[in-house]
Amino acid sequence: MKRHEEEHEEGEGGSERWLLTYSDMITLLLALFIILYSMSNIEAKKFAKIAESFGPAFNNGSIEVSGAETGTGDGTGTETGTVVDPLDEIYNTLTEYVDQNNLQDQISLTNTDSFVQIRLTGLLMFVPDSPQMLEDSKPVIKEISGALIKVYDMVDHITISGNTADVGEHDAQTDSFSWYLSVNRADTVRRYLVEYGLHEDKISLEGYGHYNPIASNHTEEGRSKNRRAEITVYKYPLEKSTSKTSENN
């Protein structure tokens, strides 16, 4: 009789032990899910960074990252996780700067599928008949340099072209000076871009002399527009991106 009671008591105690085991299992599963969720967020952030660095090799300089966590940072991603086209990034940044500082008469921007061009007129840039940059131009060049630095790894090359006004005198000496001046104006812009942190391994210079006017040279206003510098930023062409991807494979 006593033996039967002991077995009965042990049976009742044992019937409750599975609840402890079940509770422990649920706790462990919950901990596992929390760990996996944390790891998935971390991996998404890492993947977003990797995708951004490989942007030029895919989709002509633009790549979409799926599953990346929305957040803020120093990259060029948007809140949806899509990497912004480098030309759009430059154009949007500088358009906002121009509007905030009322520089529409001195700076014009052109954005296309393959390049963005930043045109800086002589009213803003240079002393007449000189490659010397005006002091008011230096903050503008610094802003441009900062915009280019953000997407530098995603652009193919940058061309800086210098231009002069046509003052009406055409002989060997004045034409030679015009060519010399246009190239040196381009080089002045290059020098300040580099001074403000831009690498120069993708930069090339062009000088057009007075042979590429955008306005009449019969007025001072027109000549000031022709006395200009243009910064043209090209992104990787599709065929070059495909070639680079094939080489990597």
**Amino acid identity, residue 60?**
N
pLDDT in tens, 108-151: 999 999 999 999 987 778 887 888 898 989 999 999 999 999 99
CA dihedral 75, 80, 82, 87 (to 10 degrees): -70
Looking up tokens 């009671």, which residue turns up? 5
Question: In 3D, which of 206, 177, 176 has the Cα closest to residue 190?
Answer: 206
pLDDT tier for residue 70 given thresholds of 50, 70 and 90: very low
Spatial separation of the C-alpha atoms in residues 115 and 144, rounded to whole Å = 15
pLDDT tier for residue 154 given thresholds of 50, 70 and 90: very high
Q: Comparing 65-79, 89-103, 172-186, 225-239, which segment has the lowest mean pLDDT?
A: 65-79
**Amino acid identity, residue 127?**
V
Question: In 3D, which of 63, 101, 61 has the Cα closest to residue 233?
Answer: 61
Q: Comparing 15-24, 66-75, 80-89, which segment has the lowest mean pLDDT?
A: 66-75
- Is residue 57's pLDDT more than 90? no
What the block records as the tokens of 124 is 């803003």
Q: How many Cβ atoms are within 10 Å of 180's Cβ, its own excluded?
A: 15
pTM above 0.85, yes or no: no
- Is residue 94's pLDDT more than 60? yes
Residue 111 dihedral angles phi and psi, to the nearest 5° = -120, 125
Per-residue DSSP letter, 126: B
Alpha-carbon Rg for the chain in angstroms: 31
pLDDT at 78: 44
HEC secondary structure over 122-161: CCCCECCCCCCECHHHHHHHHHHHHHHHHCHHHEEEEEEE
Per-residue DSSP letter, 82: B
